[in-house]
Structure formats: structure tokens, C-alpha cells
Amino acid sequence: MPKMKTKRAAAKRFKRTGTGKVKRHHNYKDHILTKKTPKRKRKLRKAGLIAKADLGRIDRAMPY
């Protein structure tokens, strides 16, 4: 049986932590930043975690 391939789009968007959780970037930090408060923009800098419900799909997309 051939090796499973990693979905490259997922590999570019997500990273695994040491404990196996999946990190992601936040939306809404690209453009039209003038109307967003500094606090909101600051919070968007930090990485978020993938919800438990979506973890199965990420596991299939990134098997390694």
C-alpha cells in the first residue's frame, strides 16, 4: 500500500504542538484594520487552537 500524502494546503495553515494539539492563525488581520481596535488586533496576533470537532479532518489531512 502506498504512503499517505499530506495535504499541502493544510500543512501550510496548521502546526502541531508538542502535546498533539493543532495551532491555527486567526482571521480578520489582513486589511481594513483602521476600524478595528488595538486590543482586537493584538488578540488576533496570537495563534488559536483547532476545535475538537474539526480535529479528525485535520488528522486525515496531515497524517505525519
pLDDT tens for each residue of 25-45: 999 999 999 999 999 999 999
- CATH number of the domain at 40, please: 4.10.410.60
Count of domains observed in the chain: 1
Percent of the chain exceeding pLDDT 70 equals 100
Residue 3 lies in a domain: no
Instruction: Tell me whether residue 1 is in a domain.
Output: no
| Residue ranges making up the domain that contains 26 | 8-61
- Any domain includes 45: yes
- State the SS3 of the chain: CCCCCCCHHHHHHCEECCCCCEEECCCCCCCCCCCCCHHHHHHHHCCEECCHHHHHHHHHHCCC
Mean pLDDT of the chain: 96
Do the domain assignments include residue 34? yes
Is 2 a member of any domain?
no
Q: What is the pLDDT of residue 64?
A: 87
